[in-house]
């Protein structure tokens, strides 16, 4: 099939859509598509379904680890710049010492914390235990009345040390012979460069002056979201660098590293254990749950929990030893929903005894004395400390403010703080990504494979869709005239639970091929009044092409209200942060890309079923580049040629996460040109690019397929059309 047939269709002038495409579903029939349900929220149910064998789990776990890395902005890892660690201000107590620490996780950004070591004669190197503290801060302290109540409940044992329970676990671990390091979450204690109000309780929009167009962006902005930059990502990076610091200490055994945190620190422990295999033992408490997944801004980022949840993310630690507790909070159902599945997985991968959840439903959300005791036994066993059982936590004299404050006159606090520092961090992260793009720009077949690894595999996470393996084509009716055969069909993807209404139009001549045509309005865009094909559709039919026209997600038959066609499905949450929607749900372009791929695969199977050797092409009409371009890249050789009207559209021009074309992470991984490059070496016609993207040309040259790439101008009538869908909704 020749490209000029598509260009003929493009040149046809058509009137505005009348929304009169023939209906596929009967008027009394409801869609069976799972996406008719409301958008998923962090408070929904996140079950863990254990695969049937290790090979399936290995594939799934590799994909999930990549999801964590992409979502947190760490695919690939930024450069590990010098820590320039400073340890000072040693204080000694009975059985332990504590020192103040600060280091740079990236240039100019400081991580602060306290380092606890055992005193006395300890032979050899000691295990290292990283302790992300969770919300409340490392120095969070119970009042006198609170500690009295805790003791009465049996939640704490000592009125002195129990007042600072997060410090208590570090002290006891040191007394057990471990080196423990508790580091500050952003905005807590000595971590002052990004405020608590920004990092954890950002409410509504940021002040206008923080997003001035002539300055770098900040966190919780569209620019940051489009680059996978988040507070959760920065804290995950800080945790990785904290582990770097801990294992660099001369008295720490690199082969015996552990992590334990509670609540928000439990979330950090889950993520660190998922992506860093240096951690050998884990105790993520208070957040391994199939219920609420983490309510703070710092526990959410785009792309992270789509079709997964904290139990499955914790499962990525398997088969390494891991334990937790269930309390009277969102973890209360773990003993029957979550823990049995973890036991099953551990039994399949190694030893069921290497995972443990202790029911403590008589306590509210906690990391109290009883929970800590459970953790001590776990660390004693799996870090091979050789201590007598049970390990009993002892009282200690609390640290004073002077003893626990990292910054002082000799070690002054950093002066680059607030919005200026945010911008500097975001800029550095962006420079890391752009440097990667430059390094991996395809020059030959080998470098193109590297490009596919870092960029292609990231796009797989962003659009969360490969080629579907299982599609079903159901004909539901047809009509015929002397010049037109029109079939109605429903295409289903059982694995996704999706259902797509579709029309198939052809004449009665011998057909030259099939073309899947996606439009901004769905099949309505191809028909005039009374269901008559418009001039563009008629041009394709007259060219003896079988034209497949679907209603993708929210188009056409999806809604009786045409105004909803380009309105994404958003979480009803007053907090203005994209991740509360797109951390759990696919973007509108991702859903439409998925539907389009389902239609492409189903059509290909239909062609093969009919025993015909006809080419299959894709026609991505105006205002569809946001989903037609990634679909073309993913489909690869399944479609013989992709004809894509881009008209210079870029995801990077989207200025609001409520936009129909908002795609988290898209700018970080090269935007539309990167996707077009990943289409190489397959035949592609790109229409409406005023400047030919260099990376696309390089990719086709690298694969020796320059002849498969064509560029074409838009028809003259098209040049004044506003294309791209960047308006706010």
What per-residue confidence (pLDDT) applies to 727? 32
**pLDDT tens per residue across span 431-455:** 998 888 788 889 999 999 999 999 9
Q: Is residue 534 within 8 Å of residue 26, measured between CB atoms?
A: no
Query: DSSP characters for 548-602?
Result: EEE--TTSGGG-S-GGGTT-------SS--THHHHTTS--HHHHHHHHHHHHHHH
| Radius of gyration, alpha carbons of the chain | 29
Taking the alpha carbons at both ends of the chain, their separation in whole angstroms is: 39
What per-residue confidence (pLDDT) applies to 726? 36
pTM above 0.75, yes or no: yes
How far is 450 from 53, CA to CA, in rounded Å?
A: 30
How far is 623 from 687, CA to CA, in rounded Å?
A: 12
How far is 313 from 308, CA to CA, in rounded Å?
A: 7
Whether pLDDT at 719 is above 60? no
**SS3 assignment, position 406:** coil
Residue that is written with structure tokens 């190197």 in the block: 125
Whether pLDDT at 11 is above 80? no
Q: Which pLDDT band, with edges at 50, 70 and 90, does 209 fall under?
A: low
Which segment of 104-118, 211-225, 433-447, 557-571 scores lowest on mean pLDDT? 557-571
Give me the helix-helix angle, 369-382 and 165-175, nearest 10°: 30
Whether pLDDT at 721 is above 50? no
Q: Select from 473, 479, 511 the least CA-distant residue to 494.
A: 473
Q: Alpha-carbon torsion 198, 66, 109, 405, what sign? A: positive
Dihedral angle at the C-alpha atoms of 537, 542, 544, 549, nearest 10 degrees? 10
What per-residue confidence (pLDDT) applies to 124? 87
What per-residue confidence (pLDDT) applies to 461? 96
143: β partners: none
**pLDDT tens per residue across span 681-712:** 999 999 999 999 999 999 999 999 999 999 99
How far is 597 from 498, CA to CA, in rounded Å?
A: 12
Share above pLDDT 90 across residues of the chain, in percent, rounded to a whole number: 83
Whether pLDDT at 678 is above 70? yes
Q: Identify the helix (H) or strand (E) that includes residue 174.
A: helix 165-175
Between CA 721 and CA 726, with CA 723 as vertex, the angle to 5 degrees is 135
**pLDDT tens per residue across span 179-198:** 999 999 999 999 999 999 99
Q: What is the mean pLDDT of residues 652-659?
A: 93
Q: Which pLDDT band, with edges at 50, 70 and 90, does 599 fall under?
A: very high
Whether pLDDT at 121 is above 80? no
How far is 238 from 187, CA to CA, in rounded Å?
A: 13
Q: Which pLDDT band, with edges at 50, 70 and 90, does 572 fall under?
A: confident
Q: Give me 650's structure tokens.
A: 């870029």
Report which of residues 11 and 661 the model is more confident about. Answer: 661
Buried b / exposed e over 613-624, threshold 16 CB at 10 Å, is ebebbbbbbbbb
């Amino acid at each position: 099939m020749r490209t000029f047939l598509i260009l003929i269709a493009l040149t046809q002038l058509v009137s505005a859509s009348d929304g009169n495409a023939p209906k596929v579903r009967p008027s009394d029939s409801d869609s069976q598509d799972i996406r008719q349900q409301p958008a998923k929220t962090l408070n929904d149910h996140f079950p863990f379904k254990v695969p049937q064998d290790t090979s399936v789990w290995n594939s799934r776990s590799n994909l999930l680890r990549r999801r964590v890395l992409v979502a947190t902005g760490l695919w690939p890892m930024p450069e590990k710049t010098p820590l320039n660690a400073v340890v000072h201000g040693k204080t000694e107590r009975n059985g332990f010492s504590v020192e103040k620490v600060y280091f740079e996780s990236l240039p100019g950004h400081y991580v602060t914390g306290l380092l606890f070591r055992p005193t006395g004669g300890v032979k050899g190197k000691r295990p290292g235990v990283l302790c992300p503290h969770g919300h409340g801060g490392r120095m969070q302290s119970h009042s006198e009345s609170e500690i009295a109540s805790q003791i009465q409940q049996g939640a704490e044992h000592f009125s002195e040390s129990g007042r600072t329970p997060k410090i208590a676990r570090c002290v006891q671990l040191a007394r057990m012979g471990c080196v423990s390091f508790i580091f500050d979450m952003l905005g807590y204690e000595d971590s002052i460069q990004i405020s608590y109000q920004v990092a954890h309780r950002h409410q509504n929009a940021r002040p206008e002056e923080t997003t001035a167009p002539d300055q770098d962006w900040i966190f919780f902005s569209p620019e940051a979201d489009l680059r996978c930059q988040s507070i959760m990502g920065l804290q995950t990076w800080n945790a990785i660098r904290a582990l770097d610091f801990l294992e660099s200490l001369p008295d720490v055994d690199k082969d015996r590293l552990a992590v334990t945190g509670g609540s928000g620190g439990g979330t950090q422990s889950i993520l660190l254990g998922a992506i860093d295999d240096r951690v050998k033992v884990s105790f993520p408490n208070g957040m391994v749950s199939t219920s609420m997944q983490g309510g703070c801004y710092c526990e959410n980022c785009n792309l992270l929990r789509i079709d997964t949840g904290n139990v499955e993310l914790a499962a990525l630690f398997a088969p390494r030893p891991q334990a937790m507790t269930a309390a009277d909070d969102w973890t209360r159902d773990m003993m029957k929903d979550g823990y049995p599945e973890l036991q099953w997985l551990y039994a399949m991968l190694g030893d069921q005894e290497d995972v443990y959840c202790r029911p403590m439903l008589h306590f509210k959300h906690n990391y109290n004395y009883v929970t800590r005791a459970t953790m001590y036994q776990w660390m004693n066993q799996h870090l091979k400390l050789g201590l007598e059982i049970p390990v009993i936590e002892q009282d200690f004299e609390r640290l004073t403010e002077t003893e626990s404050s990292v910054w002082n006159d000799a070690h002054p606090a950093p002066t680059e703080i607030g919005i200026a520092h945010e911008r500097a961090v975001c800029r550095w992260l962006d420079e890391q990504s752009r440097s990667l793009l430059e390094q991996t720009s395809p020059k030959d077949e080998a470098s193109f494979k590297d490009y596919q690894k870092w960029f292609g595999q990231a796009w797989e996470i962003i659009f969360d869709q490969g080629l579907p393996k299982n599609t079903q084509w159901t004909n539901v009716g047809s009509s015929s005239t002397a010049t037109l055969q029109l079939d109605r069909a429903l295409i289903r993807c059982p694995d996704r639970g999706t259902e797509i209404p579709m029309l198939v139009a052809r004449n009665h001549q011998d057909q030259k091929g099939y073309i899947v045509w996606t439009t901004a309005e769905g099949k309505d865009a191809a028909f005039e009044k009374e269901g008559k094909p418009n001039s563009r559709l008629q041009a394709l039919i007259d060219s003896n092409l079988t034209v497949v026209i679907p209603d993708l997600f929210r188009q056409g038959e999806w809604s009786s209200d045409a105004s909803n066609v380009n309105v994404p499905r958003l979480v009803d949450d007053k907090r203005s942060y994209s991740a509360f929607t797109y951390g759990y749900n696919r973007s509108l372009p991702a859903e439409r890309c998925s539907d389009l791929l389902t239609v492409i695969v189903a059509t290909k199977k239909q062609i093969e079923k009919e025993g015909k050797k006809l080419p299959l092409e894709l026609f991505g009409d105006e205002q569809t580049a946001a989903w037609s371009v990634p679909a073309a890249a993913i489909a690869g050789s399944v479609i013989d040629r992709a004809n894509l009207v881009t008209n210079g559209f870029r995801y990077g021009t989207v200025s609001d996460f409520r936009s129909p074309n908002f795609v988290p992470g898209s700018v970080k991984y090269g935007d539309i040109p990167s996707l077009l490059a990943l289409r190489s070496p397959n035949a592609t016609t790109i229409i409406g690019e005023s400047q030919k993207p260099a990376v696309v040309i390089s990719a086709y040259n690298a694969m020796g397929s320059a002849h498969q790439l064509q560029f074409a101008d838009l028809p003259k009538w098209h040049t004044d059309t506003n294309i791209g869908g960047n308006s706010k909704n």
